[in-house]
């Protein structure tokens, strides 16, 4: 229980630093799964304020969705209920590397700086490339409109012990 609380605090601190908000301040539906709720917002973003994201899943299928500026790519996957097996297992607390995504080089250059914590976790990701990032650490902005993110063939959840427990 203490570990879960510590991870949530870490997640909040990282979100605040990366996207300028906390889990409590996320838009409805963008909250962590255990905290999801429905609200009737009166200030919904216009559709032209949204950011288009293309994902290529493990079967090679292209899935196009929209997210809001400030959302992480993990938020987009959760909000759009995308079925990427095992994706985002630690809910953005930088503890699993299952949110590993691969980008083309031009997109990669637009994603912003990589923190040491993300690099440490990326080192443990399955199928690491020179243009790999963690989806929970990438915040959408209009400049990223139309980006393409490829889901690797497999995931490595470093929290898994050899007996399969988390």
Specify the residue, 90 or 147, whose C-beta has the smaller distance to ligand FES: 90
Site for ligand FES contains 152 (CB under 6 A): no
Structure-block tokens of residue 49: 């304020």
Measured in degrees and rounded to the nearest 5, phi and psi for residue 42 equal -105, 0
Specify the residue, 40 or 166, whose C-beta has the smaller distance to ligand FES: 166
What x/- string results for residues 3 through 42 when contact with ligand FES is judged by CB under 6 A? Answer: ----------------------------------------
How many CA atoms, within 13 angstroms, populate the side-chain half-sphere of residue 130? 4
Distance CA 144, CA 75 (A): 15
List for the chain the helix, strand, coil content (%; round to 5): 30, 15, 55
Q: What is the smallest separation between the CB atom of 40 and ligand FES, expressed in angstroms?
A: 29
In the complex, which residue's CB is closest to ligand FES? 136
**Binding residues for ligand FES restricted to 58-97, rule: CB under 6 A:** 74, 88-90, 92, 94-97
By the 10 Å C-beta count (0-12 exposed, 13-18 middle, 19+ buried), 158 is classed as middle
Residues that bind ligand FES (CB under 6 A): 74, 88-90, 92, 94-99, 121, 134, 136
């Amino acid at each position: 229980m203490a570990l879960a609380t510590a991870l949530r605090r870490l997640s909040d601190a990282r979100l605040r630093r990366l996207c300028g908000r906390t889990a409590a301040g996320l838009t409805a539906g963008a909250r962590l799964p255990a905290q999801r709720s429905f609200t009737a917002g009166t200030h919904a973003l216009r559709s032209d304020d949204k950011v288009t994201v293309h994902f290529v899943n493990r079967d090679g299928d292209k899935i196009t969705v929209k997210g809001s500026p400030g959302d992480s790519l993990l938020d987009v996957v959760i909000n759009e209920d995308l079925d990427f097996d095992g994706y985002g297992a630690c809910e953005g607390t930088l503890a699993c590397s299952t949110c590993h995504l691969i980008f083309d080089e031009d997109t990669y250059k637009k994603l912003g700086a990589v923190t040491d914590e993300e690099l440490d976790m990326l080192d443990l990701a399955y199928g690491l490339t020179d243009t790999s990032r963690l989806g929970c650490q990438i915040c959408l902005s209009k400049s990223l409109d139309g980006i393409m993110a490829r889901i690797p063939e497999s995931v490595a959840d470093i929290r898994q012990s050899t007996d399969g427990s988390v």
